Amino acid sequence: MNNDFETAPDAAATRSGRPFRRRVGGDLHVTNFPGDPDRLWLDTGFPVEGWHGRPPSRPGRPDFPGTPIRIEHRSNDLRWSHEWWEISATRIQDDARGTERFVYELRPWPEGQILRQGVELSSETARRLTLEHRAAARRRAESDRAALFMPFFGLLPAPDQEEIESRHGLPPGRATMLTALPLLLLSVYGVLLAFAANFGLVGDDVSLLAKDFRYLLGYLGLESAVRLAMGLLGQPVGSALVVVPLATLRALAPSRGSDEQLPAAPGEVPRGSAAWLEATDVVKRLPPNNEGRERLEVLSPLPKDHWRAQVDLIYHADVPYLLEERREVPGGHSFFLEAPPPGVRKTRAVHHYHPSEVREVYKEERRLKAEAWLETLAPLVGFTEPQLQLELAEFTNYKPYRGVLQSILFALLFGFLSLRTGWAMFEGAEPADHLAFLGLGVVMVWENVVRAIRLRRGEITPSFLGRLVSPFARKALRWRPDPSWPYPPKGSESA
């Protein structure tokens, strides 16, 4: 295959008239053709998302150009013949070492063609594209490894399954089904063994094993049937045998876990602490650019993925800016904003930015996670006092009536099981053992019958178990939205 990837000094290449190739930044290179000033090549080791060539013309349809690109000048002896270029064609070609390269052929931007949002290609943006590609490759490798453990992810709480989906693209509903179906088959098989043991159809060892675990197998069968049905509907549901212990550990140690730590500008502050919740972005004014347009640098602990470079208009202190560049720095992220050039500029979105949005964005993120936990543990939250449930319902999707009803059904089931266990232990057991189960069962059934009657009247009645649940449910109130946002107190902006 003919290979034009030759590197030569600029002056020598210009005199000889042969093409020469130079590095723009990262893994992007540009090839200049001195004999053809209306021709450039860009080659990379990976396909760049959003870069496309001019599609072929079709009869009866207008022509659409390829992606517009402007490449910065890096030396005085090298000047492109045109400012804006169009990707006219793309192809894959091997270099001298046999490595596959993606080639983008550039031609001058057609005269009269409307120039919409183009790509400003500099050494920094080229380096960022390369880093983003490598990071995406690492994420794909991590997702492939995570897929091997997908049958176990379905046991985790619904918020964790949804977070795994956002990171690795693994459907949470399918993960729930993959864990529910084997457990359902196992529990059904165990229950059948238990019935067979009552008729002496299996050996003593199997009979003893089935009888010892019949309650656990029965619960697993019921739970797995519900989880399988929800998984078929695409709804993730974790197993209570994993969800409850995990929720207890997280409630007792909220500062543990890799997702609980995030550096806050300008230093390292534990995420969720009082200092973090009082943090703001740091906004620095930079010297104007060569055209006199204002420039800002924003240091933030959050990546601000909702800001799109050269696309969105960002208002700070009533002054519009465009995002020119973003970088990862120790302790967070750095964003360089620049006032747009004079004239009308169409943008896709407008953001009214304030440095204090960092804590509100974080609170919103935590609120969504707390909301998912409240939906998962609604039968336990329904035991708490009415005022707490009403406060939670103000800023989450938690429904007090549904939560109380689920808590009543859960408590009645537990009460009847306690009565059944106490009665079964009546013969051959110590009086204190069966009396404790019988007493607990009577209290649970009586209390929740009263709660059910009052619920029909529209009254929310707490349970004595609410004292155990309230401290954990009350922690969700920390993520209540600030009613003053987006109008923070005057003087809180950084300059």
Confidence label for 207 from pLDDT (cuts 50, 70 and 90): low
Could you give the percent of the chain with pLDDT greater than 70? 77
Confidence label for 492 from pLDDT (cuts 50, 70 and 90): very low
CA dihedral 250, 254, 255, 260 (to 10 degrees): 80
Confidence label for 433 from pLDDT (cuts 50, 70 and 90): low
Q: What is the pLDDT of residue 268?
A: 41
Q: What is the pLDDT of residue 494?
A: 35
What's the rounded mean pLDDT across residues 82-89? 82
Q: Over 80: is that where the pLDDT of 190 sits?
A: no
**Distance of alpha carbon 261 from alpha carbon 271, whole angstroms:** 5
Q: What is the pLDDT of residue 446?
A: 92
- Report the chain's mean pLDDT, rounded to a whole number: 76
Q: What is the pLDDT of residue 293?
A: 86
pTM: 0.45
Could you give the percent of the chain with pLDDT greater than 90? 5
**Lookup: tokens for 28:** 């992007």
CB 448 within 8 A of CB 411: yes
**Distance of alpha carbon 476 from alpha carbon 391, whole angstroms:** 10
Q: Mean pLDDT highest for which of 94-98, 205-209, 286-290? A: 286-290
Q: Over 80: is that where the pLDDT of 395 sits?
A: yes
The per-residue pLDDT for range 309-364, each reduced to its tens digit, is: 777 888 888 888 888 888 887 767 889 999 888 764 555 678 888 887 777 777 77
**Lookup: tokens for 203:** 């050996």
Confidence label for 27 from pLDDT (cuts 50, 70 and 90): confident
**Lookup: tokens for 164:** 């795994």
What's the rounded mean pLDDT across residues 48-56? 83
The per-residue pLDDT for range 354-392, each reduced to its tens digit, is: 887 777 777 777 777 778 778 778 888 899 999 999 988
Confidence label for 205 from pLDDT (cuts 50, 70 and 90): low
CB 416 within 8 A of CB 445: yes
The per-residue pLDDT for range 33-45, each reduced to its tens digit, is: 877 778 888 888 8
**Lookup: tokens for 484:** 């003053």
**Distance of alpha carbon 221 from alpha carbon 244, whole angstroms:** 18
Mean pLDDT check: name the lowest of 22-26, 374-378, 387-391, 479-483.
479-483
Cis peptide upstream of residue 266 (ω within 30 degrees of 0): yes
Mean pLDDT check: name the lowest of 236-240, 262-266, 279-283.
262-266
Kind and range of the H or E run holding 187: helix 172-198
The per-residue pLDDT for range 148-158, each reduced to its tens digit, is: 888 788 888 88
Higher pLDDT among residues 471 and 424, named by residue: 471
CB 331 within 8 A of CB 263: yes
Q: What is the pLDDT of residue 124?
A: 81
The per-residue pLDDT for range 443-467, each reduced to its tens digit, is: 889 999 999 999 998 888 899 888 8
**Distance of alpha carbon 463 from alpha carbon 472, whole angstroms:** 15
**Distance of alpha carbon 113 from alpha carbon 128, whole angstroms:** 29
The per-residue pLDDT for range 213-247, each reduced to its tens digit, is: 667 777 788 888 888 888 888 888 888 888 888 87
What's the rounded mean pLDDT across residues 274-292? 76
What's the rounded mean pLDDT across residues 428-451? 76
Q: What is the pLDDT of residue 348?
A: 60
Q: What is the pLDDT of residue 12?
A: 44
Q: What is the pLDDT of residue 269?
A: 45
Higher pLDDT among residues 297 and 83, named by residue: 297
Measuring CA to CA, how many Å separate 237 from each of 159, 181, 353, 447?
Answer: 9, 13, 37, 29
**Distance of alpha carbon 276 from alpha carbon 7, whole angstroms:** 51
